[in-house]
Structure 1
Amino acid sequence: MTTFYVNKESWAHRQDPRTWLRRTAQRAGLSSERLQACWSDRAFLDPLFASRLQGEREFGVTATPSFIIGGTLNPGVLTFERFSDLVRPLLPAGSAPRG
């Protein structure tokens, strides 16, 4: 998974990203058949698409990663400190994030 995320710019904006994804998955030992099964699994994909559409409609999410914290959109990569600063006020009294 790290390879997919680290190399996102290599495949995310291609006309046919599946070619790059297929090649990379095969190098990692995932067969074309298994990858195709993943891409075709509606029970897995439908909730992902629904969540993405909800994020777009309700919060204006346009990028990955994006975090909705306390009803507010926080796009982009957040440091642990920033994430903690956003989450801490929402936690029950006496609790704190670890790290």
Structure 2
Amino acid sequence: MADLTDLEKQSLEEIPHPSMPEGSSIYGGTKVFPDYQAENGETYFTLVHGIAHESSVSFVAILQATRALRKGFESAIYFYGPGSLNCLATR
């Protein structure tokens, strides 16, 4: 590996690395939106229309359904149209 030039060293030292201790929040502690929790019998229903590995929207829909479960909602996911390809045994 080649040694760094003086210009490269100067460039590296211009902006300090923003490393923080493990477990620190990089976003601060102010909550802008309320922390919603489910009441008894509330359900979160997700529709997935995108194809896995071709649509990040499908992945986000699954993440949102997982988050709803953590908030106490019963969660249902409905795959339809091309999204039904996500449910094939060969996927």
Instruction: Report TM bin, short chain.
Output: under 0.3
Give TM-score scaled by structure 1 length: 0.20
Higher relative CO (CA 8 A, sep ≥ 6), structure 1 or 2? 2
For normalisation by structure 2, the TM-score amounts to: 0.21
User: Going by fraction, where is helix more abundant, 1 or 2?
Assistant: 1
- Greater Rg over alpha carbons, structure: 2
